[in-house]
Amino acid sequence: MPLSHPPKSASPWPGPATRQAIADHAHFLKTLIGRPRLTGSVAPSGRYLARAMAHPVDPSRDGLVVELGPGTGPVTQALIERGVAPGRLALVEYDHGFCRLLGQRFAGARIIQGDAYDLPRTLAGLDGAPIAAVVSSLPLLNQPPARRVKLIEDAFALMGPQGLMVQFTYGIASPIPREACAQRFSAHCTAPIWRNLPPARVWTYRADRNGAFAEPLIARLIRGVAPRPPRANKP
């Protein structure tokens, strides 16, 4: 008579990764309901978007990498996988709950609870440490143009002309107004990242008086067909 084998215990479902993802989505939704202008997303950035945001950052460059609005940390993880050591990361997050979570997940990174739209004050504790790049997941389109322009100006004032700013958007055009970049910054964007929900683009800005502004064709077409103001009648 064959020996009977004890039934294998079924692995618990959902697994740890799934439970973490569910908890992250729940925290995002809670924060979105409480502060929609500051969150601007119903879920953390997907891994494809996170990797696209980390890609322009050169891990061999000296200086800190400042991440704005890291949330639950998907872009932070992508930066580490890109080769940026946790000790070089300064994570600026407004929400206390996200700050606590980031501290648990990314030992060695500097967690700074503060206002990302006031970088000179928020980053004052870095004591002038060099900054190589600013990577932002802030919902810029929720803010007026003047505040968006101040953000990039503050970022490059802290980084210097060799710095790099990365920003994602769900919109078609640059989240930093085109006119603010003229003769100051170059701007390039990726193709839509369709595997993110919703699809997004990643913009990269560099200090360059003669830099190109490479915007999507559809954005150029929209600007080209925008209604023009009526001409004044000649006397």
Hey, how many other C-beta atoms are within 10 angstroms of the C-beta on 211? 17
Phi and psi dihedrals of 217, rounded to 5? Answer: -55, -40
Residues 6+ positions from 70 with CB-CB distance below 8 Å: 76, 91, 92, 93, 98, 102, 137
pLDDT at residue 202, rounded to an integer: 97
pLDDT at residue 56, rounded to an integer: 98
Residues 6+ positions from 235 with CB-CB distance below 8 Å: none
Burial tier of 186 (Cβ tally within 10 Å: 0-12, 13-18, 19+): middle
Q: Are 82 and 93 in contact (CB under 8 A)?
A: no
pLDDT at residue 210, rounded to an integer: 87
- pLDDT tens column, 77-128: 999 999 999 999 999 999 999 999 999 999 999 999 999 999 999 999 999 9
Hey, how many other C-beta atoms are within 10 angstroms of the C-beta on 54? 26
Q: Rounded CA gap, 119 and 77, in Å?
A: 22
10-residue stretch averages of pLDDT, the chain, 235 residues long: 59 58 55 52 74 97 97 96 98 95 96 97 96 96 96 97 96 92 94 92 94 77 60 51
**What angle, rounded to 10 degrees, do the helices at 96-105 and 16-34 form?**
160
Q: What is the pTM for the complete model shown?
A: 0.78
Q: Rounded CA gap, 72 and 43, in Å?
A: 10
pLDDT at residue 219, rounded to an integer: 74
pLDDT at residue 235, rounded to an integer: 45
pLDDT at residue 216, rounded to an integer: 77
Dihedral, 94, 99, 102, 108 alpha carbons, nearest 10: 100
Q: Are 28 and 71 in contact (CB under 8 A)?
A: yes
